[in-house]
A and B are shown apart, each in its own frame.
Chain A
Amino acid sequence: MPQMNGSEIIIRLLEKQGIEIVAGIPGGANLPLYHALSGSKIRHILARHEQGAGFIAHGMARSTGKAAVCFGTSGPGATNLLTAIADAKLDSVPIVAITGQVPSSMIGTDAFQEVDTYGMTLPITKHNFLVRSAEELLCVIPEAFRIAESGRPGPVVVDVPKDVQKESIHVDTLSEMDSPVHPKYELDLDDISLFNEMLQKSEKPVLLIGGGVIMSDAIEQVSAFARKNNIPVATTLMGLGCFPPDDLLYIGMVGMHGARYANMIMDETDLVIALGMRFDDRATGKVDAFCPNASIIHVDVDRSEIDKIKTSSLSIIADLSTALDQLLPTVEENMRSDWIEHVKSLKKNNALQPPKISDPYHPIHLLKTINQLADPDAIYTTDVGQHQMWAAQWIPITYPRQFLTSGGLGTMGFGMPAAIGAALANPEKQVICISGDGSILMNIQELATIRDHDLNVKILIFNNGNLGLVRQQQEYFYEKVYSGTQFESLPDFAVIASGFGIRSQKLGNEPDPSNALKEALDMKGPVLLDIPIHVAENVTPMVPPGSANSVMIGE
């Protein structure tokens, strides 16, 4: 392997990394990279917007846990990627974005399609590189993957000037990818005994689990731990799928749109064992009033999350599954009959309320029907809005990585490209994108990408003619002044989809949409359904922004 140029080095290193799919769009500043890509067995997915490419990478990474790659050219290519990169930062998703940059000699001259990608991605990446030579690529590319996947995962940007992509150097061997070194995380014996002391003293403990449980593959340990000591399990939005939803111990999502009982239990608990979660404000509500009676044990791999929002009495900085492996044998069995009985009755008396009307087009009925008809292991993606929150509340998520949603950034437009990525990485699975009439338009162009590859993606648009979740806030908190939330014109999504060559149907004429849903879900390949729902339906309960979680509107 004597002479190689920078682009060939990148592609060869991606292959070595086990990358099989890259999503992106070519342009002037990454032409050499695309030239090298054409000679590779890596499959290129041509997105129709770089944000689409970024979220396709999300879909791959979130559904598999492995770092996924997207490409963009300099300037607008890079700026279009920013939202997906920021989204990956907030939800700790391992993405490696490789951007073309103008030639080194032109950097700083306001050259055609020059933007300071390095400067712009600095606050939204786990780390970023501006590569100065082909030689540097030999360590930067493996390093990018190591950073993206290790510890708390996150996005890494590698900005590569065009001359570096073309620079030819002598390469003896491409270093073997070291498999990531996992630190040992030997727990402190004092911490283990304090942990158990606090747990023994506690009469009303709760496990509060987040996305970190999925990232560290700690599902089984969490379950064993909860069962051994009979501790109820609450989750954040990102933690959905980590614990069987029908389990007695499960109390589900807490926070702004959690069930009443979930927030009530958090109000009563005297010990929160927070695992791989970061006390996001959507989960905590007013922080001072969150779990007002509880001590906190916080276990997280990211030290900077400890005491960032909520001060803990005991913190353990470690990979979760390693930590739980060490804690589990030391934890005693405990029936906790009183607490469990109490939790049970709170659950029973303060459950999420199914709609009082039987209209099959009610969004909650729709979600139940969809879930009944879908494959049990279907992957769900969502956009952002009421439909997302209803989905989080009403679809029983049974597996980790089954529910892909933009939690931290809350990006409308996430759903469809993420579904594409999930479908590409899981070709045997059915992928269902629950979207809204507002969100779908933010990346509608990716219907073309779905068509290109005939992906098994079902796009179900919950169409209320409004930016529903914002409208809901206006109804509750802004005197019903619906400023900027109602759409003037309503596009015909079925016609749009068929224009892209995708099977589609506008529902609403038939009294019951079940048959159409069944047909759509049963057939192989892409379908889009435009499903009318009533604009007046709101997501409840709802904690007003800034209020304590004990303040809940609606049932």
Chain B
Amino acid sequence: MIQQTNTIIELEVQNHAGVMSHITGLFSRRGFNLEGILCGQIGDGSASRMYLLVNEDKFLEQIVRQLEKLYDVRSVTIRPDYDHTLFDKLHDLIKIGKPA
């Protein structure tokens, strides 16, 4: 089950077919753990918001920097304030993640 040492990375990405592969590919290629993903369109559909549930360990900074380099990634934010148990409740999370 989800452990206490997890945190959530919030991404805003350009929305097209290959984006998810770029994100998940980064994790597998660099040997980072990825515990969960939630994803949904925002705005007019040209962008998506993604929530990545990751281990809060020494790799976190490196993960963020690698994510920032991806062409389709517009922003990367670590959200320790998000309750990661929400990963069990997809709909609640999307509601919280809606732009203000």
Q: Could you tell me which A residues sit within 8 Å of B by CB distance?
A: 118-119, 122-123, 127-128, 130, 147, 302-304, 306-308
Contacts and interface: CB of A to CB of B under 8 A. Distances in A.
A147 B22 CA distance: 16
A308 B62 contact: yes
Interface in B48-74: 61-62, 65-66, 68-71
B62 A303 contact: no
Given A303-B65, A304-B65, A307-B61, A122 B71 contact: no
A122 B62 contact: no
A105 to B, nearest CB: 15
11 contacts: A118-B21, A122-B25, A123-B26, A123-B29, A127-B70, A130-B17, A147-B71, A303-B65, A304-B62, A304-B65, A307-B62
Contacts, number: 29
Interface of B: 17-18, 21-22, 25-26, 29, 61-62, 65-66, 68-71
Nearest to A129: B18
Those 9 A-B pairs whose CB atoms lie nearest each other, nearest first: A304-B65, A123-B29, A127-B71, A122-B25, A304-B66, A303-B65, A123-B25, A304-B69, A122-B21
A119 B65 contact: no
A337 B10 CA distance: 53
B75 to A, nearest CB: 15
Contacts of A304: 62, 65-66, 68-69
A119 B71 contact: no
B65 A130 contact: no
A303 B29 contact: no
Nearest to A302: B69
Nearest to A307: B61
Contacts of B68: 303-304
Contacts of A127: 70-71
B11 to A, nearest CB: 16
A128 B70 CA distance: 10
A130 B18 contact: yes
Contacts of B70: 127
Given A118-B18, A147-B71, A304-B65, 4 more contacts: A123-B25, A130-B18, A307-B61, A308-B62
Contacts of A306: 65
Q: From A122, A303, A304, name the one whose CB has the most chain B CB atoms within 10 angstroms.
A: A304
A119 B20 CA distance: 11
A307 B64 CA distance: 13
A304 B64 CA distance: 8
Contacts of B29: 123
A304 B59 CA distance: 11
Contacts of B26: 123
B61 A119 contact: no
Contacts of B69: 302-304
A303 B65 CA distance: 7
Contacts of A118: 18, 21
A128 B65 CA distance: 19
Nearest to A143: B71
A377 B68 CA distance: 40
Nearest to A116: B21
B65 A122 contact: no
Nearest to B16: A132
Contacts of A302: 69
Contacts of B25: 122-123
A299 B61 CA distance: 18
Nearest to A130: B18
B82 to A, nearest CB: 24
Contacts of B62: 304, 307-308
Nearest to A123: B29
Contacts of B18: 118, 122, 128, 130
Contacts of A303: 65, 68-69
Nearest to A303: B65
Contact of B22 (A122, A307, A308): A122
A127 B68 CA distance: 13
A119 B18 CA distance: 9
Contacts of A307: 61-62
A261 to B, nearest CB: 33
A122 B30 CA distance: 13
B45 to A, nearest CB: 16
A128 B16 CA distance: 13
B81 to A, nearest CB: 24
Nearest to A156: B71
A151 to B, nearest CB: 9
Nearest to B70: A127
A308 B17 CA distance: 30
A122 B18 CA distance: 9
A420 B65 CA distance: 37
Nearest to A147: B71
A147 B17 CA distance: 20
